[in-house]
Structure 1
Amino acid sequence: MTITCDALVAGYGEQKVLKGLSLALSPGAINVLIGPNGCGKSTLLRTAAGLLKPVSGEVQLDNKPIGQWPRRKLARQISFLPQAPVVPENMTVAQLVEQGRFAHRGLLGGMRGEDRDAVDWALEQTGLTAFRARSVAGLSGGERQRVWIAAALAQQTQIVLLDEPTTYLDIGHQLEVLELLQDLSRNRALTVLISLHEISHALMFGDRIFLMENGHLRFEGSPAALAETDLLQTVFAVEGSFRRLDRGVLAFLGERSRGRDAPGVTLAAE
């Protein structure tokens, strides 16, 4: 099961953010969206999840227009974690993660054995078993983010869309989340589409890279293929180079912004 986007034009009101973008996810792989802020990554994720109707073009899930899928059936196939989800008041960690089972049990359906197993598994995978009775509102930003990821995992879909899920995490938990997604992709054939701010993480964990700029797709392919171009330097307006690290992992070292006297931000470090 996979998602394809064909000539997508989408946005908000009169503002067109996606401008004829087409792509197809690699099934059972980590597909990573990168690009400057405002390039359309979040809009693409919302459109691919069926939450934003395109102005023109089409999103298909298994060769069927996504708009033709019943909402509950679609929620059994695709889970989506937005960039800044609202934290519910007076809800425990376990209760929030249980929300991921809604598509499987319905509005009035009670928790069954399989639902409890899915919640327990998601909590264990995200290191939150000991937090299950804690209030979500009392957690740190990083802990809350892990709870939302657990809710997405509890949904047990074959496709998971995540909009910069590592933003509020420290470096150790960032790597834990990405390693978890990589493990699920490889061992459970999970198809992941994830937007990442850290270029080094995109190169390290991405099986397929989608580089966006101003609502267009500038590149799609493997990290190694991207390293044969100068597109990162062009799109991010930096001077830099690729380095091959241990185990064949690539890193991009952004040395300085182009056209400025002051050094630019480092996009990755050895």
Structure 2
Amino acid sequence: MLIKGLSTQIHGKVILSDVTVNFMKGLNVILGPNGSGKTTLLRTIIGMIDPVMGEITLDEGEIGYSPAEFFPAPMRVIDVMRSGTSVRDSIYLSYLQELGMDEYREREFSTLSSGEKRMVLVAKALAEGNSVLMDEPLSNLDARNYVRLVKAMRKFSKTKTIIVTSHDVELATVADHVVLMKNGMVFKEGDPSSALTEETLSTLYDVKMRRVKVGERIIFVKDISNI
């Protein structure tokens, strides 16, 4: 999926400015502070927002989208999964099972916790698309569902183009491709080893970030030692 020279405006305000990025098959993670244009980029890709300039070249196949917002209508989980598509129930159920949510399929969607709702919407997006866009899917997840979802992302990214917006730097460390956005522009991109450094993350978030080795893994944490 190729994004080239993409610019958008909402009510006359520039939200994205000359964004160029090539999302490949695998796990693509977009990091950036609030208001950096992450959600607008996803919404522009799926056609919810019209660009004022630029090109979007989509991969073949359908796009699955997991929004940050939830369905307000009273519906069962299985009906939420079915809405707006013709994917077979057996496929939906396999993804619900993969994310540990199959036992909730007859539950009213509105009765689920915010984290459970998010897992359902991610399962729906994974079932529907060869390209899958997820807007902050890790928000409000407990530790078990967090790990379960990251494992699912890694598993299905072998055959799908998965694009995730997040504030979670830890997720970005296990991505195939990282895009850092700030002020509506691509600040830096590349594989985690090149894109994620103390300097780039500190500049991205305007706060000191420290690189920490935990076992065989490298993570980044906010430096609050002087607070």
Partner residue, 1:222: 191
Partner residue, 1:86: 71
Mind listing any 5+ residue stretches in structure 1 that lack a counterpart? 63-73, 106-114, 264-270
**Percent of aligned pairs with the same amino acid:** 28
Query: Quick check: which has more Rg, 1 or 2?
Result: 1
Q: CA deviation at 1:86?
A: 2.4
Whether 1:129 aligns to 2:129 is no
Q: CA deviation at 1:216?
A: 0.8
CA deviation profile, 1:30-55 (whole Å, cap 9, x unmatched) = 00000111000000111112221101
1:66-105 equivalent positions in 2, closer than 5 A: 76-89=61-74, 91-99=75-83, 102=85, 104=86
Over aligned residue pairs, what C-alpha RMSD do you find?
1.9
Mind listing any 5+ residue stretches in structure 2 that lack a counterpart? none
Partner residue, 2:2: 4
SS in 1 for 2:224: strand
Whether 1:161 aligns to 2:133 is yes
**Kept after mapping to 2: 8 A contact 1:18/1:215:** yes
Q: CA deviation at 1:208?
A: 0.8
Determine which structure has greater relative contact order: mean sequence separation of CA pairs < 8 Å that are 6+ residues apart, divided by chain length. Answer: 2
**Kept after mapping to 2: 8 A contact 1:10/1:18:** yes
Which of 16, 30, 34 is the equivalent residue of 2:31?
Answer: 34
Partner residue, 1:201: 171
Report the count of equivalent residues: 227
CA deviation profile, 1:232-261 (whole Å, cap 9, x unmatched) = 1112122232223334x321122139xxxx
Distance 1:140 1:229 in 2: 35
Distance 1:11 1:19 in 2: 9
Distance 1:131 1:82 in 2: 20
Q: CA deviation at 1:229?
A: 6.3
Partner residue, 1:119: 92
**Kept after mapping to 1: 8 A contact 2:198/2:211:** no
Partner residue, 1:65: none
Whether 1:176 aligns to 2:148 is yes
Q: What amino acid sits opposite 2:124 in the alignment?
A: A
Distance 1:235 1:116 in 2: 42
CA deviation profile, 1:202-251 (whole Å, cap 9, x unmatched) = 22x2111100110111111111112456111112122232223334x321
Q: What amino acid sits opposite 1:36 in the alignment?
A: P
Q: TM-score, normalised by structure 1?
A: 0.79
Q: TM-score, normalised by structure 2?
A: 0.93
**Kept after mapping to 1: 8 A contact 2:198/2:210:** no
Distance 1:128 1:86 in 2: 17
**Kept after mapping to 1: 8 A contact 2:63/2:131:** yes
Flag as ranges the 4+ runs of structure 1 deviating above 6 A: none
